[in-house]
Amino acid sequence: MKHRSTLALVCLVSAAACSRQSSAPVSPSSTAAATSHVNADATLKVTAPENQSPPGGQTLTPGDLVLVVKNSRRLYDPTMRLTYSFEIWSDGTDVAGFLRYAGPSAEGTDGTTSHTVPASVELTPEHIYKWRVRSYVGLDNSEYSAWSTFVAPTNTGYIRSLGNGSAEIYDPMTDGRTIGSIHGAVNFVPGVGFEMGARDSWIEYVMPEPDTCNACEFSAILNHLHSVSNDEDPKDSVISARVGFSAFNDNPYRLSVDKRGNNAVAWRFITGDAGSYIETLGTGERPIVNFRFANQYFVEARWTRNPSIFTVTYRQDNATGPILYRASKAYGREYRPHPLVAYAGRPWIGGERGEPSTVAGMIIRQLWLSPNPRPAFANR
């Protein structure tokens, strides 16, 4: 789950890191009123603010991103009530870049002013950003502070509410850690991801209540897929989801995407009514894909509303690679499990109907489940 830490606001507090766990790059944020309505030239009789934290050039650690400046000094009128306009721009000081975020904060009373960047502002992991500040009253403003830079932190993944009835899951699995719960023999392969050691291995992700994912993309990067039989047995899954924790094979909100024994692709999508669901029917709808052990693949399940379409895609290499398989079907009832529980592999507990059904030996990383588009950096 996304970890948020209490960070230093001024140098009198230990812990210099002032950053926020990042997740996905976004298009430039619209500027807040504090920036959009002030003059381009300095017209206020005060000194420029001075950037204090985070220190220039520092690589940040996960947590809230808090920007801190030393307040402007008033040259004539000590009664002026200043507001500070904070800006974050893409790239370092040697690149023009573009505005990613701007927001105001009222002046602090201890000689400094701090500004917590909203959690909705996402920064590309390990990317250089620059920031600056100016103070203003009405339409009059100071000179800008000098630029300072920081490096966005490495993203270690999160499960978070989006505040609109949906949630988002991101698990890179590239550093030996997962934000999910491991079941069975799951091993980290450096530089590749987590290997499912057996058919009874899986990683579990539970969305926070009351969120769900009515229209979403569920995707991941896979390695070590290959044919293991001459027919469709074993009928195993690479990714899956359900409502709660009842037996998977009897679950009313079951979603599974398979790579079967002979490399046939199959899938099933149930939206709360076990008597009305969509799946691949017959061998004609389950073509054999030439999955090879040495290659890398991308898998995606996507469901939309208006129109209600469920689509499964396999690509070579990554999310922009050549399409190896794609098929869609229309569905009726809205997909709204509470809680939505997603999986790398497929869950199974002894005594339940069916059998263990994870593709044994597959390696998975960069798992994404969200109503938002998959971010480009999740292709690594």
The confidence band for 208, taking pLDDT boundaries of 50, 70 and 90, is very high
Residue 380 to residue 362: CA distance in whole angstroms: 17
Q: Do domains 33-151 and 158-379 have the same CATH topology?
A: no
Q: What's the pLDDT band for 377 if we cut at 50, 70, 90? A: confident
Mean pLDDT of 141-151: 95
The Cα–Cα gap between 292 and 69 comes to 55
Average pLDDT, the chain: 88
Task: Please give the pLDDT value at position 37.
Answer: 53
Mean pLDDT, rounded, for 87-100: 91
Q: What is the pLDDT of residue 64?
A: 77
pLDDT, average across residues 106-125: 88
Q: Give the residue carrying structure tokens 């009835």.
A: 165
Domain boundaries, the chain: 33-151, 158-379
pLDDT for 370 equals 95
Q: How many CB atoms lie within 10 A of CB 128?
A: 18
CA distance 123 to 331: 36
Rounded-to-10 torsion of CA 194, 197, 201, 206: 0
More confident site: 25 or 210: 210
CATH topology of domain 158-379: Jelly Rolls (2.60.120)
Whether the link from the prior residue into 49 is cis, omega within 30° of 0, is no
Q: Which of 311, 308, 301, 372 is nearest to 343 (CA)?
A: 301
Q: Is 93 left (phi over 0), alpha (psi -120 to 50) or beta?
A: alpha
Write out pLDDT tens, residues 154-163: 778 899 898 8
H or E segment at 36?
Answer: helix 33-36
Residue 327, class by beta-carbon neighbours within 10 Å (0-12 exposed, 13-18 middle, 19+ buried)? middle
pLDDT of 6-16, one tens digit each? 223 222 222 32
CA distance 303 to 370: 11
The residue among 124 and 106 whose pLDDT is bigger is: 106
Angle at 92 between CA 377 and CA 84, to 5 degrees: 105
Per cent of the chain over pLDDT 70 is 90
The span from the CA of 20 to the CA of 66, in Å, is 8
- pLDDT reading at 106 higher than 60: yes
Listed residue (365, 347, 354) closest to 237, CA to CA: 347
Predicted TM-score (pTM) of the model is 0.71
pLDDT at 118: 85
CATH says 33-151 is which class? mainly beta
What is the rounded average pLDDT of the residues 176-204? 97
Q: What is the pLDDT of residues 280-296, one digit of tens each?
A: 999 999 999 999 999 99
Q: Taking a C-beta distance cutoff of 8 angstroms, is the pair 34, 103 a contact?
A: yes
pLDDT score, position 126:
83
> CA-to-CA distance for 20 and 42, rounded, in angstroms?
31
Banded pLDDT at 35 (limits 50, 70, 90): low
| pLDDT tens figures, 232-257 | 999 999 999 999 999 999 999 999 99
CA proximity to 251, closest of 224, 277, 219: 277
